[in-house]
Every structure is written in structure tokens, then in C-alpha cells.
Amino acid sequence: MDKEKKPSLSAPPLEKGLVMIFTGDGKGKTSAALGVALRALGHKMRVHVVYFMKGDYPYGERESLARFPNCDISIFGRDCFVDPRNVEPEDKEEARKGLEKARDVIQSGDYDVVILDEINVAVSWKLLDVNDVLDLIKNKPEKVALILTGRYAERRLIEAADLVTEMTQIKHPYDKGVLSQRGIDY
């Protein structure tokens, strides 16, 4: 790519849309996906974020992403957190709807970057079948970049990805009683 030129107002598509995974137990997975979205949006690319498990409603990013006419978001999952030891039928149904939406969005030709937020967790907790997610990856148009986030990324997803970063928690202020903060974590 020519980095010297300023971006034009119309975005040429990516030559090759990579499959990227941000996983691990540290803070920064969804944040990193959002950061990539911010870059892509600045280059006039079209971005779609599919939230798979948003008990923790993404207020902050939703307000910000709404400023971009070239960004859309879809939100699935119940308002509460999923209990992995006690998955409700509604959790599975929501995840299935999210997967269908993701398939439509990826195949539509309307987006350059598609973020599948927390899909790794949805697979790990058996809300989704890993084979269905592998099919999403295998059948995606060449030029569409995919970003999968969430802990517990399955081995087969990692094998299918082009780029994988594990976010490892070195230090977290849990012990100072700070669980999550407005504007930082949601």
C-alpha cells in the first residue's frame, strides 16, 4: 500500500480481507476490534459490528459508532449475562439469530470489515456450533475482513485465522474493587 498519499473519499476495498482473532483473558479484545473499526471508518470503509453477547450494553461505543454513516451495528443476546453452566434456550436462539445476521452481512457486499464480537465465547459455551462459524470464515468473500473477539477461542478457529493476538492479563485492578468503568469498559 502507498502510505504517502492521503486517503481518497471513496474507499477501495481491501485486496485481501484477513481473518483476525483477539482472544485471551486480558482487557483489550473488543477494544482492539473497535480501534480497527475506527481506522477503517476513517478510510471510508464500511464496517458492521455484530454483538453476540451484550448483557453489558455497549453504550459508549454505540453512541460513537452512530456518528459514522458507514457503520452499522446489530445487537444479540439477552440483557443479562449468560450463565455458562445454565444456558437458556433464549441464549441459543439469540446466538443463532446473530449468526444468521453475520452471514447476511458478510455476504451482502455492503461491508469491508465485519466484527463478530464475543463470538469466541458463544462457541465455547456451545451457543453456536464451531462448524457454523468455520463456514462463515470459509465462505466469506475474499475482500471482507473479519474480526472475531472473546476469550476461549477454539483451536479450529485459531487455525482458520490469519492473525491471532492473545490478550494476557498481567495486572487488573479487581483487587482495588474496580470491576468496570463507564467510558473505559463499556
* Interface residues toward a copy of itself, by CB under 8 A: 1, 3, 6-7, 11, 14, 16, 18, 20, 22, 24, 26-43, 45, 56-65, 67-68, 112-113, 145, 158, 161-173, 176, 178, 180-186
3-state secondary structure of 24: coil
Please, which residue, 36 or 87, has the CB nearer to a copy of itself?
A: 36
166 close to 23: Cβ distance less than 8 angstroms? yes
Residue type, 5: K
Q: How far is the CB of 64 from a copy of itself (least distance, A)?
A: 4
Smaller CB separation from a copy of itself, 38 or 75: 38
Provide the minimum distance between the beta carbon of 7 and a copy of itself in the complex, in angstroms, as a whole number: 6
In the complex, what is the shortest distance from the CB of residue 67 to a copy of itself, in angstroms, rounded to a whole number? 5
User: Do residues 118 and 149 make contact, with C-beta atoms less than 8 angstroms apart?
Assistant: yes
Nearer to a copy of itself, 62 or 96 (CB): 62
Q: CB atoms < 10 A from the CB of 174, how many?
A: 9
Is the CB of 3 or the CB of 85 nearer to a copy of itself? 3
Q: How far is the CB of 94 from a copy of itself (least distance, A)?
A: 19
Q: How many residues does the chain have?
A: 186
